[in-house]
Chains A and B, each alone.
Chain A
């Protein structure tokens, strides 16, 4: 996994740079002034990124055997579960926010995060914080700051 991440990221950046270069060269020509003006900056940038990605890849190949504690932590214990479920809960929040309204969705989202991170044993604290913080946020944004919330 360590090698995969260490080499995967520069390879991803290399591919991204290539796609960005191809995309830049396919940009439509401008009708005003220099027709190629919109593509100079992104094209130049993609070439710079391509070169930097190659250097980065070589740097990583040279140090591929070195341990990165944080990459290890990313895949150990309950960390992957915490990160993946935080993202999933965020996605669900995005889906239901407009449909069920700010208060209900925020209580659910915050409650979900608290149960995920703080654990089920502290259910009372989780429930109190989820409800009180959501109300407080609703009051602060909607009533005090005049932000229109669903």
Chain B
């Protein structure tokens, strides 16, 4: 670790203005993340316009704070309303909501905040030691390795949509197809612009992101708008007992590193991290029968893991410029717009930016645990706001955000179009993350593919020429085989179960 860069980053992160942004971002992220159905990706997408006019370092610090805030916020609605803000907060409903129902909402909120805080800190420590070596390793990558790395990321994110892989690959293909619109940077040829000057620079992926996430989510929530009922919860004392802490501390400490490792893997993220940590703790616990009925370990473990995973997911983004999840893809889009290109060179050319962000994660986690414990009363009031009032406001914010991207109202039509596409994708169970990820990395993926072929005079052997390339190909194949293996194992266990039923009858 470069101590000078670390200290320089720390001095930037503790500048009063950046601390203010961390607090504002954490607070707003928590609020948006708390809203049922709206996760961190939507929170970052809707709040992107806040970063306009800011210097890139403050902007990335603010966005990271929004991201972590939304992760914290997602668990608030899981515990209080049994409605997770997004996939990574689902596991918090298993034991968090039963705790709240038994009059322990305050304890559940406190243990969730502290578990998230510790998980986040463990991950930041991991980040400090892993980020620079990984960035140095990524500097060795040529176009072939980058192409294969992007291919692995895309295949990994699609493979996680078990049971809907065809839809995942279709979403990915649509994202890649959209990325081909505009001037081809290597030859200057106009592709699929249909004579429109507006399309010559391609389709702005931020409009797609705001459309499919923000507008799409709101339109999707309109399907059940009349069924969404307010459920008032008495929070009570927001702290936990010594016994609850004794039961939670080891699950928290075990789940932090687990979540971090899962978060670093492309495609995996908070949802998988929290589910795996929940299952692991249930298997390890002497009180496994209490899981699902309000076991404090069942809340602490996934909360630690999902926050840790959210920090881990920033590693591939910052060190290689490859977003491993929908939310980090949204962040990459916003960073590119701000003129900041995450990747291995970031640690070489702008180390202070990278280290300021890493240090801000420490401060952000401290700020968030304070916000989520001290201001829990005010935060819970947000859940009292009727969705019928909140969703129109989110739509307006999405439109304003779109306008600030290019100051052209023409983009509003694209926003609406992608909102409708997002709605249909959700209704028909298409995963959205592969589309967004493919759209963002698509152009780079194609350019790297072509550069690799040019450098090898058209020989595909370049993609098998290094150990890294071969390892990436093997990992891609494994990621594609993973759903098939899971499917096969499920069928096998189902058949075994049926055989046993048949024999016993």
What is A's interface to B at a CB cutoff of 8 Å?
Answer: 5, 9, 13, 20, 23, 27-28, 30-34, 37-38, 40-42, 45-46, 48-49, 52-53, 55-56, 59, 68, 70-71, 73-74, 77-79, 82-83, 86-87, 90-91, 93-95, 97-98, 106, 109-110, 113-114, 117-119, 125, 129, 133-134, 137, 141, 145-149
Q: Please judge, given known A-B contacts A141-B49, A147-B53, whether A37 and B222 are in contact too, CB under 8 Å.
A: no
Asked whether, in the complex, the Cβ of B407 is within 8 Å of the Cβ of A70, the reply is no
Q: Mark B160-203, 1 if CB is under 8 A from A, else 0.
A: 00000011011001101100100010111111100000000000
Asked whether, in the complex, the Cβ of A55 is within 8 Å of the Cβ of B166, the reply is yes
Asked whether, in the complex, the Cβ of A87 is within 8 Å of the Cβ of B416, the reply is yes
B501 contacts partner chain A, Cβ-Cβ < 8 Å:
no
Say which one of B7-15, B36-44, B97-105, B393-401 lies at the interface with A. B393-401
Asked whether, in the complex, the Cβ of A90 is within 8 Å of the Cβ of B415, the reply is yes
Residue of A31, A119, A141 near B187 (CB, 8 A) is A31
B403 contacts partner chain A, Cβ-Cβ < 8 Å:
yes
Asked whether, in the complex, the Cβ of B413 is within 8 Å of the Cβ of A37, the reply is no
CA distance A84 to B198 in the complex (A): 26
Shortest 8 CB-CB distances between A and B: which pairs? A94-B412, A113-B392, A30-B187, A118-B388, A73-B223, A49-B173, A41-B446, A70-B427
Asked whether, in the complex, the Cβ of A117 is within 8 Å of the Cβ of B225, the reply is yes
B50 contacts partner chain A, Cβ-Cβ < 8 Å:
yes
Residue of A90, A133, A145 near B393 (CB, 8 A) is A133
What total of chain B residues lie within 8 Å of the partner, measured CB to CB? 60
Besides A31-B187, A71-B427, A137-B400, 18 other A-B contacts (C-beta < 8 A)? A9-B424, A32-B187, A34-B458, A41-B449, A56-B167, A70-B427, A79-B223, A82-B225, A86-B219, A86-B395, A97-B403, A110-B393, A114-B389, A118-B388, A118-B389, A118-B392, A141-B400, A147-B52
Q: Please judge, given known A-B contacts A23-B192, A49-B177, A145-B53, whether A93 and B427 are in contact too, CB under 8 Å.
A: no
Asked whether, in the complex, the Cβ of A147 is within 8 Å of the Cβ of B170, the reply is no
CA distance A31 to B225 in the complex (A): 55
Which residues of B have CB within 8 Å of A52? 166, 169-170, 173
What is B's interface to A at a CB cutoff of 8 Å?
Answer: 49-50, 52-53, 166-167, 169-170, 173-174, 176-177, 180, 184, 186-192, 218-219, 222-226, 386, 388-389, 391-393, 395-397, 399-400, 403-404, 407, 409-410, 412-413, 415-416, 419-420, 423-424, 426-428, 446, 449-450, 454, 458
Which residues of B have CB within 8 Å of A83? 219, 222, 423
Which residues of B have CB within 8 Å of A110? 392-393, 396
CA distance A137 to B46 in the complex (A): 13
Which residues of B have CB within 8 Å of A42? 177, 180, 191-192
CA distance A99 to B446 in the complex (A): 41
25 cross-chain CB contacts under 8 A: A9-B428, A32-B187, A37-B187, A38-B191, A41-B446, A42-B192, A45-B180, A48-B173, A52-B166, A59-B166, A68-B427, A70-B223, A77-B226, A86-B395, A87-B419, A94-B416, A109-B396, A113-B396, A137-B396, A141-B49, A141-B404, A145-B49, A146-B52, A147-B52, A147-B404
Asked whether, in the complex, the Cβ of B396 is within 8 Å of the Cβ of A87, the reply is no
